[in-house]
Structure 1
C-alpha cells in the first residue's frame, strides 16, 4: 500500500508500523489486550476505511502506543478527510436542503414521501386492522417499527378525513400520557402506542402499567366501539407481555412481525428517496449496502445514518461509494459521526456528553439497553449542557422536543463503542442513579415531603459515589435526606452501622465512614482489594450477555477480593443469567482436534495434537495411542468400531468396547477426515494431497474416488443410505459424489476453503463450513443453495447436525460454537467458554448435549438446554405472598392473590401443578412434616388441605371469620396452627379436622404463627404490637412479649428453640432470648418494614425479606449482614430455606418467586457454570498485576498460567456452627 494514497491509508500504515515496533504480535494476541476482536483490529490496519476512535486507541494501547498521541492522529485524519470531501453542492433547482434520509430519526407523517420499500408491510398491517381492533407490531430494535407506524400506517389511514388519530409513547407514566392525549369518544379513532416496551422499561409502577394495558384493551374491545389500537413493541420485550393474561389473549392472532428488508426492498429504500430529491445513487453503492446489510438484524438505522452522512458528502446530484466509504460505511458511519463530535469538544464538554448520554439510556434487565426520554430540565440549564445538546442534535444523535430530550435511536447505544464502554464501566452506579432520579422526582413532585426521602442504607449507598453528574433536584434531595436522618438519629432505636458526615463544597457529596467494631483503620491492602473487587464486578456485568463463562469467573474473583453490595449483585446477576453449562473434559496436552459421540451417546471420543484418543464414559477414561497428531474420529453406526486418522497418513481401527487395536490403513498423505459407510463395510478418507479414498474394512484395500478437488480434502461424510459421499476442500467447493453412478456435483459459493461438511439425518440437507466465516445450507437433492449462516467472525472449522435435523452446530476459530435453526436460519444459542479456536464439534444422539474440541487443550460437553442457578418462577398473575418447601426439598409451593397455589420442581424450575380453589387471595402455604399434605390459607377465612400426590383438595377447615394470614404444622404433624385477621389464632386437630383451641387475647390482626421445635409452644404476632406464646396442649397464654415498636409482621422459632425472631414495623428484626424473656440482639439494615423471617436448618443464619425489595441473610451469633440479595422489583413478601439449607425461596409483589442458592454455594456454582479458570491473559487484563491464582480449586490453571498456581481463598460467605 502506498502510504501517500490518502489519510486513511497513511493512518493504516502507521498502525502497522506501531504493531511491528511492538514485536509484531498476532492479531489474536492483540485482541486479548485490546478487548476488540482480531477481525476489527486487522480491519483497522487494512486501509479500507478509517477505524473508529475507540478501535484505533485500543489498537494503539495494545501495542504500547500513547493513547493521546493516537487520538490526535485520528482527529487529524478525520479533519483531512472532511477537508478533502467535496462540498454538498447539489444544484439548488434540483436538490434542496432537505436530506432524503433521516439518519437515526424515525420517519413521521411528514416524511411519508421518503418512506420507501415497505409497501408490502403497510398492506399487511392494514389488512390486520381490517380484521382486529387491537394489533401489535413486533420487531427488534432497528427494524423500522416506528417509521412503519408513523410514516406508513398513518398516511394510509389518514386518507379518511373523518378518522381521528392519536400517537403516544408511554414513558414513565403511561396513564398520564393517555389522559393528556384522549381518544375522541363516538368517533372513528386510531390510537398508536409507539415504543410500547417503555411500559416495562420506564414505568416503575406495576399498578399503573397494568391499568394502562387494560385501558388499551378495553377501548379496543368495547362492543360496538370505533377505536383501533396499534402498539409497536420491541421483540426482546415480548416475553414481558405474558405478565398480563388479557394482553396474551389479545396478541394470539393480532400481531405483525417486522423482519429485515429483502434485497429488493432495501434497494428501493436506498434509491427511491434520492430519486424523489433529484439525486442519483451509484449502482456500486447500492450493491455494497445490500451486501453489507444482508442477514444482519436491526440494521436499518445504520443504513439510514450512513446514507445521511453519504448525502452530506454528495458530489453534484450523485451519491457515490467514495462518499459512503469516507463516512465510515455501514459499520463505521455512526461511530465516526459520534467520535467526530466528541473529538471536537474540550474536556469539560466531553464530560457533559458522557453525563447526558448516560442519563438518556435506560439500562436493560435481561433485555438490551434502551433510550430514555427525559425532561429537558433534568439535564440542567447551564451553557455547557446547552452547547453539547446543540452539537449532538446537529449530528442527529439526539432528538430535542418541546420539553424532552432523547437519543435519536437505540442504534447509537449499540453502534458507538465509546458509549458502550461508558455503560459497562458505570452500570451499577447508573442503576443507583436511576433509582435516585426517580426518588428525587417523587420528592419534588410531592412538595418535598420528608416521607419520600432516603435514609439508612439507601442514603449510605451514596457515600462514596461521584456526585458531579447529579442535577440540582438530586443534590437537594440527598441534602434533605441527610438532614432528616441527622435529625431523626437521636430519636431512633435503630443502631446505625454508619455515621453521616456533612455535605462537601457545594457538590453536596455525601461522606460516610463505615465504623466496624474493633476496626480503627482501613489498610492499604483492603483498599486495593475493594477497588479491584469493584472493577471486577463491573466487568462481570459488562460481559455477561456475550461471555457468560467469563462473567461468572469475574464475579467470583470479585467476591474473592471483597464481599460488597456490588460484588454480591454481580454474582447474583451471573448466577441468574441463562447459559449453556459445559463440563470440561481435561486430559489432552495439546489442541483437541477431533471429537465424536458413540451411537448410544454413552461415550465421547476426543483426539488431539498429543497423538492420543481419549474415550470419556461414566466410568474411567481410556486413552488410545495414535502415534501422530489425531485429525479425525468416526464410529460405526452399531458403535462396535472406532476409526481414527492422523497426520502420519494412517487410519487406525479400534474395538470400541475393548479398546484393542484391530488394524491400520496406511495412506500416502496426512488424513484430514474419516467417515464410515452406514453398513460399516467401508471407510472414506480425505487427504492433504487432494485424494479421497474408499477402504474395505474387511480386506484393508482401497480405491481412489474421483471427486476432483483441486487441493487438500478437509471433510468427508456419507448420507444415511451410503449412496452419497459429501466432501469439502481447499478449492472453496463442496462436492457430492454418487457412489452408484460415479457422478460428481460441485457446490460453489464459498469464498474460502471448505473445512467441514455434514448431511442431515434424512439426507436432504447439506451444511458446509468455510474459511470465509460462514456456513451454508444446501438442498442435497436439487443441489440448490438455501441460506448462509452468518454470525461467526472467523473461520467456521466444524459443523454437525442435531439428532432431529432441525438444528446445526458450527464451531469457529472465533472461540465459539453456535446452534442454528435450519428452518429459520437464525442462531438459537452461542456456546462461549473456550479460550482459543474451536476445531471440532459433535452432537449427542438424544440432542441434549454438544461436544466441542479446542486449541485451548480442552474439550467441553455442553448442555443444549439453558440453565439458571438463580431461577425466577413466573406464572402468577397477582401478588405472590407465600412460599414453602416440601420436606424432601424437591417441590416448592407458592401462593398468590391471583387465587392459585402453584407447585414447582426445584431442580428444573418448571411448574408441576396449579391448585385453584376459586376462593380468592391465597395468603399462606405450608407442607406437613411428612410431605403428604399442603395447607393453604385464604382470604375467605378458610383453610384448605390438599393431597400432594393427587393434587386434589381433601378437606376444608372453617371457623375463622376473616382472612387466614399464616398457617404452620406442628413438628409431629398432628396439629395445624392458623392466624387470622379476625384477631384470633386457632389450633386444629388434623385427625378430627376440628379446632382444638381458639387462641384469643390479641386486640389486632394476627399476622403470623409458628411452632417451637418440640411442638409444645405456639407463637403468634399481631398488629397490636405483641407476641404471645401459647401452650399448644392447653391453648392458654404462657407469656406476652411487647417489643413496643408498633405492629408486628412475622415471628419464627430458631431450630434449637432458644431464640424467637420478631419482625416489627421499624424495619429491624429482634432476636429474643426465650428463657430470659428479653431482646438479645437487633438486626438493622433494611430501609423498610420486614415482612418475613426464617432460620436456616442449622440455626446459624437468619433470612429476612422486606418491603425495601431486598432479602438479607444474617449471621445469627454476630448479628451482622452476610449478604443482601436483590432481584425482585417489589415488596419481598415471604422467605423460606430449603431443608438442606442450600437454597433460599422468596416471593414478591412483582408476581414472581425466586430460588437463590445460599452464598456458601456460590463459589462452587460459579465454577460449575464457568467450567474453567481464567487464562493468564484474562487474569492480567481484568485483575491486574497481582500474582495469578486459580479461582476454581478443582480445575486446572487456565491457558498460559502457572499450573502450580495456588487457589484464591474467599471471605466467609456463611456462618459456621458455633459462630
Structure 2
C-alpha cells in the first residue's frame, strides 16, 4: 500500500503527493512510519555516499594530475626563469591547500623547496641604458648609475604610498662608480672616461640632491670617513687630498709611475691603483704604508673593513688582498678571470665571492675551495653581462647591475636558514665537546670542568662544575632529553671503569654509579626511558645494565662494531659499523636480557629507529641511505644519497620526514621512504655531528663538529612564508599581470599572515642626518703671544703644548691654513744654504714634521728639535719648534687637512 502511494504519486502534483503521504492509512502505526522514514534516509545517505565516493575517486586523481602539471612547469622554469618558477610553486602550494587540504603532495613540497633555494631574487629595478655600478647607500637604499649619466636611488622595501625613486641629474657623461659620504648626505659620481670630471651631489633637504660645481679636472674620487675626498689625476700619477669644499689639502707621495686609474678611501687608509700595476697604500697622515703588486694596470679598486681589504680589477682578472692580522701580512686571492667574469667582490666576512659573469649570472663561490660554508650556485636573472656586484653591509643581500639596464637584489642565503651561531662564542675556544638533545631543544657543552646546558635560543639553563669532566668524558642525553649524562673513564689496572653521573636540566645531580668491565668500552648508550644502559666493548661484547649500573647480561656482536642505538620504547637495540666484515644487527631486550634477532652485512655509519619502530634508517660509509623494514626483514637502498659518508640521521615526531647529514656538511630532507624532498641544505663548514626535528616539526636543528649550530625551516609552511616575503616587494607580485602571478599573490595573502607588513629592515632603517661639521671639528690654534699651540675638538681644548716661534725677520705667518704634509723622521734643508741633512739625532726637525704653510719654495710647520732649551723662545726661521715627545703626541692626533689657525 505504501508502495502504491509512491507509484501513484509519480504522476501527481507536488501538493497531492504531500497530501497522500500525510493521509496514509490510519491503520498504519506511527512506529512503522517512523521506521520506514529512517530506512529511506539510510538508503539516501548510502546512495549519496556512494556517489560522493565515486566523484571523489575521480576528483582526487584529476586534481593531483593538475598539481603535478603545475609542479612540472615550475621545475622546468627553474633554470631559465627562477622568479617565474617560484611564483608557479607558490600558486601550486595554494592550489594544493584549497583542493586537497588533507594532504600536501610531496612533489608540491619538493618543488617549493627547490624554488626557494634557487630563486633568490628579491627585487628588480630598471633604468635606461647599461648599468656600470650598483651599491647600497648608508640609509639602505639601492643606488645605481651607468651610461645615462644619472644616479638612481631606490627603496629596497618600497612604500606604494610614496615615491620610491630619486634621480640625480648629472652632466650627461657616463658614470663608472659612485661613492657615498659615511652619513649619506653627499654622493660622488666617478666618470668612465678620463676626459670627464667627477660629479658631486649634496643632500640639501628632503626634496633631494643638487649638483654643485667643483674645481679641477678630477677623474676619480672617494669619501673619507669624515667626509673629505681623495682625488687623483691620471696623467701625472699624483694622488691629491681635497676638503669637502673642493679646496686642495695635500699631495701624497711617492707618485706612481704612469697614470692613476682609481682611488679608494676607507677609515684611516687611502689606496690608489694605476697603469704600473701597483696598488699604493697611505694612512690619513700621508705616511706610505706599502705597495702591492696587482700584475697589470688597475681599473677599479674597492677598499673596506677599515683598510683591511682591497678588491682590485684589471684587464685580466679580479683579485682580493686581505690583511692577516695574526701573520702581519697581506694574503692575495684570485677572484676570477675577466674573460668570464665582469665584476667580483667579497662578502663582509671574507667567506664568499660574488662574481658577475658575461652570461648574465651572478655566481656565489667560497673564497677557499676547502671552505664549505657556501654552495657554488649561480643566481639567474639578468639578460646580458653583469657589470657590477656588491654586498650590503650585513652581508645578507647582493645588488647586481647589468647590460640589460636592471639592478637586481638577491638574498645571499636561500631562506631556509633561520639562524646560525657558534657555541664557542659562549664558552671561548676551549669547548671539548657539544651534544644536541634528541628533541633538538637543548645543547650541552663541556669546557674543562664546566658543563653548560643551554636551549637553542642560546639561553643558559644550568651550569655544572664537576671534577669528573676534566678528561676522557662523554656527554649524552636520556629520558627523551630531560637528563644529562656524563660518562668518564677511570684508569685502573686490569679492568675498565666508567663513572656515570646524571643531572637534570636545572643542573641538579640526580644519581651516579660505576660500570666495571674487563675491556675498554667503545660506546655507551642509554635507552630513551632511561631504564637500561648498553655498552659496546673493544672486542664486540655488548653488555646490558640497569639504571643503577648493575649488569644484566652480555652478548657478542661484530668485533669491529662502532655504535649502539636503542628503539624509542627501549625494547630493541641496534649495533653496527666496522671496517672488517661489517654487520648491522638487531637485538631484543626481554626479561632484562639481550636476545639476537637478525643481522645484515652492511657497512653502516649511523642508524636510527622510526617513531613507530617499524623501520630503521641506516646511513652508510659511501653516503647511501638504507631502509630496514622490521616486519619483512628486508633492507633496501633508498633514492636518497649523499656524496660523503652519512654521519647523522633523525626522524620527525610522526615519522613522516627523515633528515640525514654527511661528512661534507650537507643535510638532506626526505620522506619516510627515503624519497628526497628538494635540494640539500648547504652551509656547514664541518661534518654534521647530530640532527633533530623540533617537537612541532616546524624546524630542524643541526650541529656541526666544529660547534656551529644552525636552525632550518622544515616544511612547506616555512618555505611558503619565505617565498612570499622574498617577493612581496618584487614587481612580479606588487603588480601581478598573469593568472599565475595573481594566484600566487592570493596564496600569500591567504596563508602568510605577515605578508605585506614592513620588515624590520624598513622600520629600523637609519635616517639621514647632515652633521654639524663645526660642532666636533678638530683644529689647531697657535697663539704666538703665549708661545703655545692648543688642540681643539669643537670648543673644548684637548691638549696644549709650548712652542718656539719665528725670530725677528723670520716671523711665523699668521692666518688660517691646513696641514698639507706629515713626515716621520724627516730630512731637513737649510732655508739659506739649501744644505740637506738626513734624519738623525742632530736633525733640527727632530722625529716629526707637520707642515701647514708654503710659498712653493719654503715650508713652515710644527717639528721637534734636539735643542730643548729653545722651546718657548723666538729663535726659529718661522717654524714652530716643540719638544720631541710633544710633537710625537700631536702627530698622532692630527691628520692631513686639519685646520691651523695662527694668531698674534
TM-score tier by shorter-chain length is 0.3 to 0.5
Normalised by the length of structure 1, the TM-score is 0.33
Considering fraction of residues, name the structure with more strand: 2
Name the structure, 1 or 2, with higher relative contact order (CA <8 Å, separation 6+).
Answer: 2
